[in-house]
Structure 1
Amino acid sequence: MSIFSTILNKIFPHDHPANTGSAATTPGASSTAAAAAPASAPGSAAASNTGASTPSTAQAQATRPSVTPMPEVDVEAVLVKMQASSGQQLNWRTSIVDLLKLLGLDSSLEARKQLASELHYTGNQEDSAAMNVWLHRQVMQKLEENGGKLPDGLKS
C-alpha cells in the first residue's frame, strides 16, 4: 500500500469512496474523473421526448450510472480529534513531518522521499525543506480532491 493510500485510510472512514477504490485515490488523479461521463448518455434522446416515459426509456435510465456526490469528510475535525487523543503538540497544519507523526506513520526522510515520488515531486529531494512544504500542500490538495473538507487555511 502506498503512503498516500495509508494517509487516506487514517483520515477517511473505511467505507468512504476514497478508501474503497471508487474515488480518485491514485496520486495525480483528479476528482473530476468520475464526472467525465459523456453528455449524451444512452437513452438521453428518448428521455427528451415530450411523451410519457416508455419502458425502453425507463430501462435506459435504470442502466445509466447515477452520479452520487462524494461524501465530505471534515479533515480538520478528524485531525484535531486525533491530536487531542494523542496528547502530543504537533504542528500538523503546516508540517508534513508532524502530520505523518499524528497519523502514526513513518516521518523519516526516506518515507517523505517515497511519498514525494508517489505524488510526482519534480524538485530536488535533497532539499528537504522545499520538498516538505510541497508535500504538505500536495497532501492537503489530494485530501480535498478525494472528498476532504478543508478550511481555507489548509488549502494550497
Structure 2
Amino acid sequence: MSIFSSIMGKIFGHHDSATAAQPGSATQPSSTTAGAPAAPATAAPAPAQSTPPQQPVDVEAVLTQMQSSHSEQLNWRTSIVDLMKLLGLDSSLSARKELAAELHYSGNTEDSAAMNMWLHKQVMQKLAENGGKVPDDLK
C-alpha cells in the first residue's frame, strides 16, 4: 500500500467509523433478518480505498477531532511531519522521500524543508481530488 493511500485510509476511514456510529447516518442498511441467510458473495461492497467516499469528507474536521484526542500537540495544518505523526504513520525522512516519489516531486529531496512544504500542499490537494473537503488555506 502506498503512503498516500495510507493517509487517505486513515482520514477517510476515521470519517467512516465516526459516521457509522452516529444514529441516522448514511450507512447501508443490513439486508439480513433474524434467521435469514447472509447476502451472497456477489453482493460484496467495493473496497473502501478504491473509490472516493460518496459524500465529501471534511478533512479539517476529521484531523481536528484526531488532534483533540492526541497526547502530543501537533501542527498538522502546515507540517507534513506532524500530519503523518497524527495519522500514526512513519514520518521519517525516508518515508517522506518515498511519498515525494509517489506524488512525483521533481525538486531536490535533499532540501527537506522545500520538499516538506511541497508534500503538505500536494497531500491536501490530492485529498481534495479524492473526495475530501479541504479548506482553501490548507491547499
Length-normalised TM-score, structure 2: 0.73
Tell me what 2:7 maps to: 7
Give the secondary structure class of the aligned counterpart of 2:69.
helix
The Cα shift of 1:88 comes to 1.6
Indicate conservation of the 8 Å contact 2:103/2:122, yes or no: yes
What letter is aligned with 1:122? S
The unaligned stretches of length 5 or more in structure 2 are: 17-45
Match of 2:86 among 90, 102, 106: 102
Residue identity in the other structure for 1:80: T
SS of residue paired to 1:13: helix
Match of 2:49 in 1: 20
Amino acid aligned to 1:6 = S
**Is 2:60–2:134's contact at 8 Å kept on the other side of the alignment?**
yes
Tell me if the contact between 2:5 and 2:49 (Cα under 8 Å) persists in the aligned partners. Answer: no
Look up the match of 2:73: 89
Instruction: Please list, as runs of the form range in 1=range in 2, the aligned pairs for 1:113-152 lying within 5 A after superposition.
Output: 113-152=97-136
Larger-Rg structure: 1
User: Structure 2 CA distance, aligned partners of 1:18 and 1:125?
Assistant: 33
* Residue aligned with 2:107, SS: coil
Residues 8-54 of structure 1: per-residue CA shift (max 9 Å, x gap): 00000387x8943134xxxxxxxxxxxxxxxxxxxxxxxxxxxxxxx
Cα RMSD (Å): 1.9
AA aligned to 1:10 is K
Q: Percent identity?
A: 72
Give the corresponding residue for 1:51.
Answer: none
* Pairs aligned (count): 109
User: After TM superposition, where is structure 1 displaced by more than 6 Å over at least 4 residues in a row?
Assistant: none
CA distance in 2, matches of 1:101, 1:149: 21
Structure 1: tracts of 5 or more residues without a match: 24-68
